[in-house]
Amino acid sequence: MKLISRIAVILIFLLTIFLLFYKLDKPAFERWDEQINVQVVNESLSSENFLVFKYQGLEFFDKPPLWYYLTMLIVKFTGPTVIAFRAVNAVSGLIICFLIFSLTRKHLGLYAGIVSVAALLSISHLFINNPLGTGQFFSTHTLRSADLDGLQILLLVLSLWLFDRVKNNRKYFYLGFMVLGLAFLTKGPFTLIPLVFYCWYFYRKRLFYRIKVKNLIIGLLLFFATILPWHILMLYYSGQYFINSYLGYHILSRLTIPLEGHSADIFFYIKIFLNFSAVTVWTLALLALVNKFKLRISNLLLDFSRFMFPATIIFFSLVQTKLAWYILPAYPFVAILVAWYSRILYKQKYKLLLKFLFTLLLLTGLGINTLNIYRL
């Protein structure tokens, strides 16, 4: 690695650390959903049975358990500080950046690896509360908040990192399914979307990856073996209340009706994505998506990214309860596609204006996020 490349890598990860950890204790906990999550952790730690979460004295089944258990462990050893409650999300953000750098560097080169991290860091929706202002849309879940999203995104990206190594070692195939199970245990059934993709992809490419149908079945069994124990345990402890609260209300009702007044039109997420204040690189992402279909280049990294980016927006557009942070899982795959497109763009002799706009959009997003975090 040349000296200038080493400096670029060091700088982009120093910026990553700054955006994720600088003044992590600010601002104060937001009402949705940090304050609830903090109270759940505190009440559950002081209850007789910490396995069953409590909120205002009642059993709490709004979300699956993984983030809460990890945060309870941190708070138990460090005390109930703001940073302790936000640590899982912030550390997840750092690992996400390392993983997408590793994936894009492997398949697209060092330059693309740096651009993928820069593209992710330029997305204000991942770092700033209400990036369009409170009058536009309400969004308080970021990679710096005491919420579950960062851990979910990390596990989705980690599954891709593992599945990308399947050809060299079969154990990564099974680990990928187990990590998807952990993603389900973080934020629920959205994980079924990538699960279906991987099953379809590896069945279609089974000769190339030397995967047999029995391997897919074992993988699916491992996925369900990961998610079922907690569900069975909660059913044992809480019975019908768990079914009504967790499955009936927070999963099925959320899909079919707007809960707690969180309704919007079907274009809600498209309008968020196509706004420079939230996603400065959205034009680059769309150009990358179009070129990916036109060039028909096929590998797991690009195929999965091309799938997850629109699939996330389409899926949550169809879900009746709408909250701005639901589409955060799309952004790492947007960053990967942008990095791939940059590789194509900068290899061309011409298109100087497009190259200038590409660089300008990337630097603008990085500058806005850096300034906003610095001003906290």
pLDDT tens-digit series, residues 35-44: 999 999 999 9
At residue 133, does pLDDT exceed 70? Answer: no
Per DSSP, which regions of the chain are E strands? 54-55, 58-59
Percent share of the chain, pLDDT over 70: 97
pLDDT tens-digit series, residues 154-170: 999 999 999 999 988 88
pLDDT tens-digit series, residues 178-224: 999 999 999 999 999 999 999 999 999 998 999 999 999 999 999 99
Q: What is the mean pLDDT of residues 296-307?
A: 88
DSSP per residue over 93-129, as a string? HHHHHHHHHHHHHHHH-HHHHHHHHHHHHT-GGGTSS
Distances from the Cα of 375 to the Cα of 23, 128, 277, 370, angstroms: 9, 11, 17, 9
Weakest-pLDDT range from 8-17, 58-67, 88-97, 251-260: 251-260
pLDDT tens-digit series, residues 259-287: 888 889 999 999 999 999 999 999 999 98
Roughly what angle, to the nearest 10 degrees, separates helices 352-374 and 3-21?
A: 40
Q: Which domain holds residue 126?
A: 3-374
At residue 238, does pLDDT exceed 90? Answer: yes
- Count up the domains in the chain and report the number: 1
373: helix, coil or strand?
Answer: helix
Q: CA 67, 72, 77 angle in degrees (round to 5)?
A: 135
Per-residue model confidence (pLDDT) at position 295: 66
The whole model's pTM is what?
0.95
Q: What is the CA radius of gyration of the chain?
A: 21
